[in-house]
């Protein structure tokens, strides 16, 4: 288990937008808890609703599945029989906004405390550095764009899925993608099993992105069958963030050079510092 705890590269700014995004996500989750499932089901993004422009306002029954179990009538426990099992219906509720807007509202919803904490931890670690490079307005636009592209990637993979999707993972994956392109050598403090150490961002974040691509490729053909992690949303968001990073690469180099000069470092022509 590798758990990032924080990076060792402070910024010159107070990352107001990052703090605001974290606050909004936490407040929205508290509202989710207070309302039961009402807010979650109303504002989560369901691919089928977006692609068919139709509201699923009541639970949807899943088709029965065939499972293999041990025959309870066989005392040896060796005989296996096939039985039909009726899965639980997929919960849905009326959506009070246009379906396309759930592409954005869903990225501020979370399914559990750990889902929220994990996402906010990554945003807290990488968001300030990316916000410093982009500036507040661009940062908000990029955050939303990465979340949108992540949601669209999941929808394109299975436009008929009736399972609601939610979470800030696609947006935050995009911020992580930009971070690893701009700051590959930044040291990140991580918890590796029971030990705390530091690793470069290219290992921690780059490895995470590669893992999401591998898991996303393995999830094809299973999307929409059951709930779980939306790996393709992570991939779509991360790739969008990488594209943004390449677009603003010179701006990031300028920010790094300026910080190096202010700290008394010498800036070499190729951008390395000593």
Tell me: the pLDDT tens digits for 142-167? 999 999 999 999 999 889 888 999 99
Task: Say yes or no to pLDDT of 190 above 80.
Answer: yes
Rounded average pLDDT over 104-113: 94
For the chain, what are the domain ranges? 2-55+99-262, 58-91
From the candidates 9, 92, 110, 234, which is the catalytic residue?
234
Most confident among 1-5, 148-152, 225-229 (mean pLDDT)? 148-152
| pLDDT tens-digit map of 84-94 | 677 788 888 89
The answer to whether 234 is a known catalytic residue is yes
Task: Say yes or no to pLDDT of 272 above 50.
Answer: no
The CATH code belonging to domain 2-55+99-262 is 1.20.1540.10
80 vs 159, which has greater pLDDT?
Answer: 159
The structure's pTM equals 0.83
Write down the pLDDT at residue 69. 72
Distance CA 145, CA 134 (A): 14
Per residue, the 3-state secondary structure of the chain, as one string, reads: CEEEEEECCCCCCCCHHHHHHHHHHHHHHHHHHHCCCHHHHHHCECHHHHHHCCCCCCCECCCCEEEEEECCCCCCCCCEEEEEECCCCECCCCCCCCHHHHHHHHHHCCCCHHHHHHHHHHHHHHHHHHHHHHCHHHHHHHHHHHHHHHHHHHHHHCCCCCCCECCCHHHHHHHHHHHHHHCCCCEEEEEECCEEEEEEHHHHHHHHHHHHHHHHHHHCCCECCECCCCHHHHHHHHHHHHHHHHHCHHHHHHHHHHHHHHCCCCECCCCCEC
Rounded average pLDDT over 2-18: 87
Most confident among 25-39, 206-220, 248-262 (mean pLDDT)? 25-39
The answer to whether 112 is a known catalytic residue is no
From the candidates 110, 161, 169, 219, which is the catalytic residue?
169
Lowest mean pLDDT across 17-21, 35-39, 259-263: 259-263
Write down the pLDDT at residue 184. 92
For all residues of the chain together, what is the average pLDDT? 85
């Amino acid at each position: 288990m590798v758990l990032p705890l924080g990076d060792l590269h402070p910024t010159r700014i107070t990352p107001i937008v990052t703090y605001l995004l974290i606050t909004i996500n936490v407040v929205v989750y508290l509202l989710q808890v207070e309302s039961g499932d009402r807010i979650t089901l109303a504002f989560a993004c369901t691919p089928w609703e977006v692609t068919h422009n139709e509201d699923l306002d009541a639970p949807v029954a899943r088709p029965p599945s065939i499972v293999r179990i041990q025959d309870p009538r066989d005392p040896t426990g060796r005989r296996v029989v096939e039985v039909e099992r009726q899965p639980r219906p997929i919960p849905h509720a009326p959506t009070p906004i246009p379906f396309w807007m759930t592409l954005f509202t869903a990225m501020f919803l979370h399914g559990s405390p750990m889902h929220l904490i994990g996402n906010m931890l990554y945003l807290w670690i990488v968001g300030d550095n990316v916000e410093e490079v982009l500036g507040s307005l661009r940062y908000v636009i990029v955050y939303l764009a990465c979340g949108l592209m992540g949601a669209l990637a999941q929808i394109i993979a299975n436009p008929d899925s009736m399972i609601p999707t939610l979470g800030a993972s696609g947006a935050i994956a995009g911020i992580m993608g930009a971070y690893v392109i701009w700051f590959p050598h930044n040291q990140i403090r991580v918890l590796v099993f029971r030990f705390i150490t530091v690793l470069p961002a290219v290992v921690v974040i780059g490895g995470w992105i590669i893992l999401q691509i591998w898991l996303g490729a393995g999830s094809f053909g299973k999307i929409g069958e059951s709930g779980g992690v939306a790996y393709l949303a992570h991939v779509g968001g991360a790739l969008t963030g990488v594209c943004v990073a390449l677009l603003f690469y010179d701006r990031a180099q300028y920010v790094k050079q300026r910080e190096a000069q202010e700290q008394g470092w010498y800036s070499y022509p190729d951008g390395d510092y000593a």
